[in-house]
Structure 1
Amino acid sequence: MRWDRLFEDLEAQLALDEVRGLESEVADRTRRERALLDVHTRLLANLDAPRAVLRLPGRVVAGRLVDVGPDWALVETAPNRPVLVALPAVRAVSGVGPGARTPSVVARRFGMGAALRAVSRDRAGVEVTDVDGQAATGTIDVVGADHLELAEHASDETRRTANVTGRLIVPFWSLGSVRRL
């Protein structure tokens, strides 16, 4: 009987060690998988989040998360008032849930340049804000490989040669947000 209890105790300890080992392995795999997540995949899992808050230096862009690219997010701050936010300018995000979603191959290639070309196609007036919070208004004339060129003019004027007061080149790495006027 004494031997039976000893073997039962040893079996219980072995089973407990196996459970602990499995729990440790699951925790390690979870940490490894989470380490591979980036902001893009986290935001993709939260499309249509009604109260996403993207904090940039000196300001906040808050609203419904409409779309996300590898280096940008589109936030509808009011009905039909989208703001294109450069993800490198984002300092923190709140108002989104857990989870992640892997982007498609096409979505991974639809970067800032493609998003800005879509904005510039209709020749609408925009407000371009850099990472320091400095804003300029005008019309995007050119979207290059790593920059945009803004024909500066007053927000209440259309882009006409007579209305253009200057040209501003904004590198993508210093871009904070672009808002249609």
Structure 2
Amino acid sequence: MRWERLFAELDARFDAEMSLERDAEIADRTRRERAQIPLYGRLLANVGRGTISVRLPGGPGPRVIVGTPSDVGPDWLLLVDTAHQSVLVPLAAVRSITGLHPGALEASLVARRFTLGAALRGVSRDRAAVDLVDVEGQVLTGTIDAVGSDHLDLAEHAPDEPRRARHVVRTHVIPIAALGSVRRR
């Protein structure tokens, strides 16, 4: 009887140590898997799932855009804000996000190639008037005329006038790295 108790106790200790080892292995694998998840994947899992707040640089205080993610690219986020306007946000300009649901998705190869430049070219092709906010908070209103590999040309004009040569006040060349957000008017 004494031997049986000893072996039972040894078995119980062994099982407990194996359980701790398994739990540590699971935790380690979970950390490694999480380390592989890009922000893009987290945002992709939140498309259409509710309101988030995105903090951006610029202005005298924090600049926050509140909206629902409607589309995501590898380096951009499209939000529909509370006024039902589309706001294109470069991920490089994002300082923090609140309200994300847990989880992540992996994008298709085609979706991963749809970069911020491609999204900006779509806005340019539509000839939509935009409010462009740079990372310092300065707002320019106009139409994106062209998008290069690392910059865009914005024809500045009054928000209530169409993009015509006679309405253009000046043309700005803006590095894409300087973009804070682009809101369609």
Q: TM-score range by the shorter chain?
A: over 0.9
Supply the AA of the counterpart residue of 1:23.
D
Supply the AA of the counterpart residue of 1:66.
S
Supply the AA of the counterpart residue of 1:4.
E
* Unpaired stretches in structure 1, ≥5 consecutive residues: none
How is 1:1-181 mapped onto 2 (pairs within 5 angstroms)?
A: 1-57=1-57, 58-78=62-82, 80-181=84-185
Which moves more between the two structures, 73-82 or 37-46? 73-82
TM-score for both structures, normalised by structure 1: 0.97
Q: Distance in 1 between matches of 2:100 and 2:136?
A: 25
Supply the AA of the counterpart residue of 1:28.
D
Q: Distance in 2 between matches of 1:50 and 1:18?
A: 42
Q: Distance in 2 between matches of 1:160 and 1:142?
A: 15
Q: Distance in 2 between matches of 1:101 and 1:110?
A: 16
Q: Distance in 2 between matches of 1:78 and 1:11?
A: 61
RMSD across aligned positions (CA): 1.0
Identity of aligned residues (%): 53
8 A Cα contact 1:49 1:95, kept in partner: no
* Unpaired stretches in structure 2, ≥5 consecutive residues: none
Q: Distance in 1 between matches of 2:38 and 2:96?
A: 13
**SS of the residue aligned with 1:54?**
strand
How many residues in Structure 1 have an aligned counterpart in Structure 2?
181
Aligned-residue offset at 1:80: 4.5
8 A Cα contact 1:72 1:111, kept in partner: yes
